[in-house]
Chains A and B, each alone.
Chain A
Amino acid sequence: MPMVLAPEFKKLLITRIFADEKLKRHLENLGLSVNSEIEVLSKSGGSVICRVKDGRLALDKQMATKIFVTVKED
Chain B
Amino acid sequence: MIKFALAGNPNCGKTTLFNALTGATAHVGNWPGVTVDKREGVYKKCAEPIAVLDLPGIYSLSPYTPEEVIARNYILDEKPDLIVNIVDATNLERNLYLTTQLMEIDVPMVVALNMMDAVEKNGDKIDAKTLEDKLAVPVVAISALKGTGIKELMNRAYAASKRKREGISVLGSSALSKPISDLTAALAKKQVDSPLFHAVKLVENDEIEIKNHPEEYKLVREYKSGFSDDVFGDDFEAIVADERYKYITKHFAQAFVRKDGEKVRLTKSDKADKVLTHRIWGIPIFLAIMFVVFHLTFSENFLFLAKALPEGWVSLEGTWAEGLFGSADGIASPGVILANLLNLITGSISGAVSGAMQGAAAEWATGLVCDGILGGLFAVLSFLPQILVLFMFFSILEDSGYMARVAFILDRIFRKFGLSGRAFMPMIMGFGCSIPAMINTRTLADEKERTATVRVIPFFSCGAKLPILTAIAGGIVQFFHVSNADAITYAMYIVGIVTAIVTVILMRSTTMRGETPPFIMELPSYHAPQAKALFIHLWDKLKHFVKKAFTIILVSTILIWFLSHFSFGWNFLPDEQMESSILAGLGKLVQPLFTPLGFGSQLGATGWVFVVAAITGLIAKENVIATFGVLAACLGFAYDGDADPNGVLAATIMIQATGITIPALISFIAFNMTTIPCFAAVATAKAELDKRSFKWTLVFWLVTSYTVGTIIYLVGSWWWTVFIFLAMIAAAIGGIIVYNKKRDAKKLSTEAPIK
A residues whose Cβ falls under 8 Å from a Cβ of B: 19, 21-31, 33-36, 39, 41-47, 49, 51-63
Which residues of A are found within 8 Å of B273, using beta-carbon distances? 41-42, 49, 56
Q: Are A59 and B520 in contact (CB under 8 A)?
A: yes
B264 at the interface (CB under 8 A from A): yes
* A35 touching B59 in the complex, CB below 8 Å, given contacts A25-B237, A30-B94, A44-B279: no
Q: Is B392 an interface residue (CB 8 A)?
A: no
Determine which of A19, A33, A58 lies in contact with B245 in the assembled complex, contact meaning CB atoms within 8 Å: A33
Give the residue name and chain of the B residue nearest to A56 (CB).
B523
Determine which of B93, B204, B523 lies in contact with A58 in the assembled complex, contact meaning CB atoms within 8 Å: B523
Q: Which of B35-78 contact A (CB under 8 A)?
A: 59-60, 62, 64
Interface residue? B701 (CB, 8 A): no
Assess whether B522 is in contact with A56, with CB atoms less than 8 Å apart. Answer: yes
**B412 A34 Cβ-Cβ under 8 A:** no
Tell me whether B408 is interfacial, beta carbon within 8 Å.
yes
Residues of B within 8 A of A41 (CB): 270, 273
- Are B237 and A58 closer than 8 Å at their CB atoms? no
* Residues of A with C-beta under 8 A to B91: 53-55
Q: Which residue of A lies closest to B61 (CB)?
A: A29
How far does the Cβ of A45 sit from chain B's closest Cβ, in whole Å? 5
A28-B241 CB under 8 A given contacts A42-B273, A54-B92, A57-B521: yes
Whether a CB of chain A sits under 8 angstroms from the CB of B636 is no
| Min CB–CB distance B230 → chain A (angstroms) | 11
Per the bound structure, the CA–CA distance linking A26 and B516 in Å amounts to: 17
Q: Hey, which chain A residues are within 8 Å of B421, CB to CB?
A: 60
A59 — which chain B residues lie within 8 A by C-beta?
A: 518-520
Residue B228, interface by CB 8 Å: no
B277 interface residue per 8 A CB criterion: yes
Q: CA A59 – CA B522 in complex, angstroms?
A: 9
Q: Which residues of A contact B363 (CB under 8 A)?
A: none
Specify which chain A residues have a CB less than 8 angstroms from the CB of B59 in the assembled complex. 26, 29-30
Interface residues of B in 262-287 (CB under 8 A from A): 264, 269-270, 273-274, 277-279, 282
Min C-beta distance of B752 to chain A, whole Å = 21
Contact between B518 and A47, CB atoms less than 8 A apart = no
Residue contact A44 to B278, C-beta cutoff 8 Å: yes
- Complex Cα gap A21–B232 (Å): 14
Determine the chain A residues whose CB is within 8 A of the CB of B64 once the complex forms: 22, 25-26, 29
**Which of B62, B232, B520: most chain A Cβ within 10 A?**
B520
Let me know if B411 is at the binding interface, CB within 8 A.
yes
Residue of B nearest to A31 (CB): B94
What are 19 A-to-B residue pairs whose CB atoms are below 8 Å? A25-B60, A25-B237, A26-B59, A26-B64, A29-B241, A34-B231, A34-B242, A44-B278, A44-B409, A45-B279, A46-B412, A53-B91, A54-B264, A55-B523, A58-B519, A58-B520, A60-B411, A60-B412, A62-B516
Q: Is B99 an interface residue (CB 8 A)?
A: no
B277 touches which of A26, A34, A49 (Cβ 8 Å): A49
Does B238 make an interface contact (CB < 8 A)?
yes
For the complex, give the distance between the alpha carbons of A42 and B411 in Å.
15
Enumerate chain B residues within 8 angstroms of A35, measured Cβ to Cβ.
231, 242
In the bound complex, do residue B522 and residue A29 qualify as a contact, i.e. CB atoms below 8 Å apart? Answer: no
B269 & A23 in contact (Cβ 8 Å cutoff): no
> Closest CB of chain A to B515's CB: distance in Å?
9
Given A47-B408, A54-B92, residue A25 in contact with residue B245 (CB < 8 A) = no
A sample of 7 more A-B contacts (CB under 8 A), given A41-B270, A51-B264, A60-B421, is A23-B518, A28-B241, A29-B59, A30-B59, A33-B241, A45-B279, A57-B520
The distance from the CB of A47 to the nearest CB of chain B, in whole angstroms, is 6
B417 in the interface, Cβ–Cβ < 8 Å? no
Query: Is residue B415 contacting chain A, with contact meaning CB distance below 8 A?
Result: yes
Does B97 count as interface, using CB distance less than 8 angstroms? Answer: yes
A54-B97 in contact given A33-B245, A60-B411, A63-B520 (Cβ < 8 Å): no
List 3 A-B pairs, minimum CB-CB distance, nearest first: A44-B279, A29-B60, A28-B241
A residues in contact with B407, CB < 8 Å: 58
Chain B residues with CB under 8 Å of A47's CB are 408, 411-412, 519
List, in ascending order, chain B residues with CB within 8 A of A24's CB: 237-238
Chain B residues with a Cβ closer than 8 Å to the other chain, count: 46
B434 contacts across to A, CB distance below 8 A: none
In contact, B408 and A31 (Cβ under 8 angstroms): no
Interface residues of B in 378-414 (CB under 8 A from A): 404, 407-409, 411-412
B90 at interface by CB-CB < 8 Å: yes
Is B441 on the interface with A (CB-CB < 8 A)?
no
1/0 per residue B608-651: CB within 8 Å of A? 00000000000000000000000000000000000000000000
Rounded to whole angstroms, the CA-CA distance of A5 and B516 in the bound complex is: 22
Among A19, A33, A42, A45, max chain B CB count under 10 A is at: A33
CB distance from A57 to the nearest CB of B (A): 6
Q: Are A28 and B269 in contact (CB under 8 A)?
A: no
Point out the residue from B408, B409, B445, B518 that lies within 8 Å of A63, measured CB to CB: B518
Within 8 A of A (CB), among B92-111: 92-94, 97
- The complex places the Cα of A47 from the Cα of B519 at a distance, in Å, of 9
Residue B420 CB within 8 A of the other chain: yes
Contact in complex: A34, B238 (CB < 8 Å): yes
Are A42 and B242 touching (Cβ within 8 A)?
no
Interchain CB contact under 8 A, A25 and B62: yes
Residues of A contacting B412 with CB < 8 Å? 44-47, 60-61
How many Å lie between the Cα of A35 and that of B245 in the bound state?
11
- Which listed residue, B62, B237, B264, B523, touches A57 by the CB 8 Å rule? B523
State which of A39, A45, A58 has its C-beta within 8 Å of the C-beta of B264.
A39
Q: Is the CB of A44 within 8 A of B94?
A: no
Chain B contacts for A63, CB-based, 8 A: 518-520
Shortest C-beta distance, A46 to chain B (Å), equals: 8
Which residue of A24, A28, A42, A63 has the most chain B CB atoms within 10 A of its CB atom? A28
Say whether B522 contacts A55, CB under 8 Å: yes
- Is the beta-carbon distance between B274 and A42 smaller than 8 angstroms? yes
Question: Contact at A30–B520, with CB atoms within 8 Å?
Answer: yes
User: Within the assembled complex, what's the spacing in Å between the Cα atoms of A47 and B521?
Assistant: 12
Cβ contacts under 8 Å, B523 to chain A: 49, 55-58
Q: How far is the CA of A70 from the CA of B722 in the complex (A)?
A: 55
A52 near B519 with CB under 8 A, answer no
Which residues on A sit within 8 Å (CB–CB) of B245? Answer: 31, 33, 36
Least Cβ–Cβ distance between B493 and chain A, in angstroms: 27
Closest-CB distance, A49 to chain B (whole angstroms):
6
| Residue of A with least CB distance to B11 | A55
Tell me the minimal C-beta distance from A63 to chain B in angstroms. 5
Report B214-251 CB contacts with A as 1/0, cut-off 8 Å. 00000000000000000110000110011001000000
Contact residues in A for B270 (Cβ distance below 8 Å): 41, 56
A7 → chain B, closest Cβ, in Å? Answer: 15
Contact mask B148-159 → A, CB, 8 Å, 1/0? Answer: 000000000000
Contacts of B60 in A (CB 8 A): 25-26, 29
Question: In the complex, are the beta carbons of B237 and A28 less than 8 A apart?
Answer: yes
Choice from A23, A57, A60 contacting B522 with Cβ under 8 Å = A57
**Cα-based distance from A28 to B97 in the complex (angstroms):** 10
Q: How far is the CA of A33 from the CA of B19 in the complex (A)?
A: 35
Could you tell me if A49 and B522 are in contact, using CB atoms closer than 8 angstroms?
no
Chain A residues within an 8 Å CB radius of B420: 60
Q: Which of A39, A45, A47, A54 has the most CB of B within 10 A?
A: A54
- Shortest C-beta distance, B93 to chain A (Å), equals 4
